[in-house]
Amino acid sequence: MKNNKDLENQRDEREFKSKDAEGLGSCTWILAFISFIIVALTFPLSLFFCLKIVQEYERAVIFRVGRLLPGNDAKGPGIFFILPCIDTYMKVDLRVVSFDVPPQEILTRDSVTVAVDAVVYFRISNPIWSVVNVEDAHRSTKLLAQTTLRNELGTKNLSELLVEREKISHSIQRILDEATDPWGMKVERVEVKDVRLPQQLQRAMAAEAEASREARAKVIAAKGEMNAARALKEASDVIAESPQALQLRYLQTLQTISAEKNSTIIFPLPIDMLNM
């Protein structure tokens, strides 16, 4: 897929260069010659109109009489020269831009209506294409992100939407990157921010989760009682095999009771009489 994209980009660049190779026409050269004369006659005042500066993060796309210059590349960063009256230029910002996709009402594959919003990070990778191939690259990318988000999430179940956010984000990013490549755009990242469920569905899911927790608690309590009963049975078997152990256990129990109640216990009869 990447190789096909690179081949398409190279073919488009060759088309731009072939168009530039046709030349600007004799009329354009005459106008350019006149502009040079005007610049020379008004020098050095003309420098204020002919010298332009673009920042490190910017590029300038220059048009001469409405056409790209032959062999034109985006100018910058630094100082570049234009001819007054016949040259126009557009500055393009190459920095990464982020925007929030407004909450979209989406009907999932299992017929649940949810509101989903996201954030998209993108930048201009080819300044010339972003100016020539699309009227407003930023606005077009934002609109495409909204429709892509609705289309992609509409094919997912609610459980997939809640669990597989990262996978869905990568899928949307790939689709947007391929669609905006002819516009000279590069989609760096897409993140699904929030998934808002209807109130009734939230209450139903909360009740389901609470019932599940109660069921697990009852199972754990039952297992604890079963283990305790098994331990008591094993203890009774051990005590039954040794009468002295029963007497010691009896004395330990009396000691514990006397310590808690702060009382004195008197044995009027020998303990051996309990076995009679």
**Distance (Å, whole) CA 161 – CA 168:** 8
In the predicted structure, residue 114 carries a pLDDT above the cut 80: yes
pLDDT at 20: 47
In the predicted structure, residue 201 carries a pLDDT above the cut 80: no
Which of helix, strand or coil describes residue 276? coil
pTM score above 0.75: no
In the predicted structure, residue 102 carries a pLDDT above the cut 80: yes
**Mean pLDDT of all residues in the chain?**
77
Res. 122 pLDDT band, cuts 50 70 90: very high
Tens digit of each residue's pLDDT (9 = 90 or more) over 176-187: 999 999 999 999
Q: What percent of the chain is predicted at pLDDT more than 90? A: 13
3-state helix, strand, coil in the chain (%, to 5): 55, 20, 20
Tens digit of each residue's pLDDT (9 = 90 or more) over 254-266: 666 666 656 665 5
Which helix H or strand E contains 222, and what residues bound it? helix 199-241
pLDDT at 95: 92
Q: Using alpha carbons, list the distances in angstroms from residue 154 to 105, 120, 229.
A: 10, 19, 54
**Distance (Å, whole) CA 192 – CA 139:** 20
